[in-house]
């Protein structure tokens, strides 16, 4: 194999109460990457599209190539690779843009070299790319983008990723407003310590959300989608968040929350029709604030990264 094309999906991380420990993959949007072997050694970024010139062509400053290089170093490979990265999703969206690039890169490199490592074994290399973007190792975006499904990150020492079953008919609505939030800056606003009373509430909601997803109890899912620690801080960065959230719930959403560090907002819905209705309601709520947005409706993507050709 001399070249390969891969798609890695966008993700919703945190999932309300699950800061840094929960995330799931979407069917769309996502990133595409093409890797081509070439004579010589080293990685060269030949093209990046869809990011309005905001991403670096320097190999050590791009999440895709940082992840690829980490993988190649581990495998003892020093081949030449040309990289063509096509961003099919907005940057700074809260939908795991940096993670999708990292996952696409390392998954493509592994497939190009014969699939020597399993998906689980590729996770640490994707996390190296994510560290470049967020300043720390996190798997709540890269794990679902790589592996698919709804993922619980039980721990980081070592990384322990658990797949959580979800209702088959559940749909997700995501609205991405024309606002950009820097992940590192958003993390910098968070309190370093948490009051015990709030921590207890959060633990209960995390357990309730997981139980609700497994048992397909939409009432329990909705009651559990409450973040008493992170969301109150990050909601201040989102003009109109309270109104958008209420519009979503009024339109029939099971629950609503901020995706990652924002500005994207996601909902769980009992079916596709409700998902479309909720997406429209959220978009209209943003428009009352003079903010345009894009809507994505999707099931939870169970495949993760895939080879396109």
Residue 17: name the closest of 294, 282, 268 by CA: 268
Neighbours of 41 (CB within 10 A): 10
List the alpha helices (DSSP H) in the chain.
Answer: 63-75, 97-112, 119-134, 142-147, 183-188, 196-215, 218-224, 231-234, 241-250, 272-287
1 by Cβ neighbours in 10 Å (0-12 / 13-18 / 19+) ranks as exposed
- Judge contact between 65 and 133, C-beta under 8 A: no
130, 231, 267, 274: the catalytic one is 130
Torsional sign, CA 276, 282, 287, 291: negative
Q: What are phi and psi of 266, to 5 degrees?
A: -120, 160
11, 63, 166, 183: the catalytic one is 183
Tokens of 17: 């109460």
Angle CA 284–9–227, to nearest 5: 55
Residue 254: name the closest of 240, 229, 275, 273 by CA: 275
- Judge contact between 261 and 234, C-beta under 8 A: yes
Is 183 among the catalytic positions? yes
Provide the CB-side half-sphere exposure for 9 (13 A, CA): 27
Residue 122: name the closest of 72, 58, 63 by CA: 72
SS3 (DSSP) at 268: strand
Residue positions annotated with a catalytic role = 130, 183
């Amino acid at each position: 194999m001399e070249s390969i094309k891969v798609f890695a999906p966008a993700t919703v991380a945190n999932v309300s109460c699950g800061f840094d420990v929960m995330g799931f993959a979407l069917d769309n949007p996502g990133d595409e990457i093409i890797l081509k072997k070439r004579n010589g050694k080293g990685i060269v970024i030949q093209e990046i599209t869809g990011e309005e010139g905001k991403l670096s062509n320097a190999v050590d400053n791009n999440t895709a190539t940082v992840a690829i290089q980490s993988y190649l170093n581990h495998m003892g490979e020093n081949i030449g690779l040309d990289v063509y990265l096509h961003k099919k999703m907005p940057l700074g969206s809260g939908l795991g843009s940096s993670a999708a690039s990292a996952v696409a890169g390392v998954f493509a490199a592994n497939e190009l070299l014969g699939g020597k490592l399993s998906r689980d074994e590729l996770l640490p290399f994707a996390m190296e790319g994510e560290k470049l973007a967020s300043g720390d190792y996190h798997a709540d975006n890269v794990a679902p983008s790589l592996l698919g499904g709804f993922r619980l990150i039980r721990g980081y020492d070592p990384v322990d990723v658990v797949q959580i079953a979800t209702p088959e008919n559940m749909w997700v609505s995501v609205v991405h407003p024309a606002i950009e939030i820097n992940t590192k800056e958003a993390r910098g606003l968070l309190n370093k310590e948490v009051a015990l009373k709030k921590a207890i509430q959060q633990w209960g909601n995390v357990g309730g959300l997981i139980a609700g997803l497994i048992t397909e109890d939409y009432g329990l899912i909705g009651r559990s989608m409450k973040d008493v620690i992170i969301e109150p801080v990050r909601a201040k960065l989102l003009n109109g968040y309270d109104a958008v959230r209420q519009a979503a719930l009024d339109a029939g959403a099971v629950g609503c929350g901020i995706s990652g560090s924002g500005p994207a907002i996601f909902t769980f819905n009992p079916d596709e029709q409700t998902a479309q209705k909720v997406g429209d309601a959220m978009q209209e709520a943003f428009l009352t604030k003079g903010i345009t947005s894009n809507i994505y409706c999707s099931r939870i993507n169970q495949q993760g990264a895939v080879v396109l050709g």
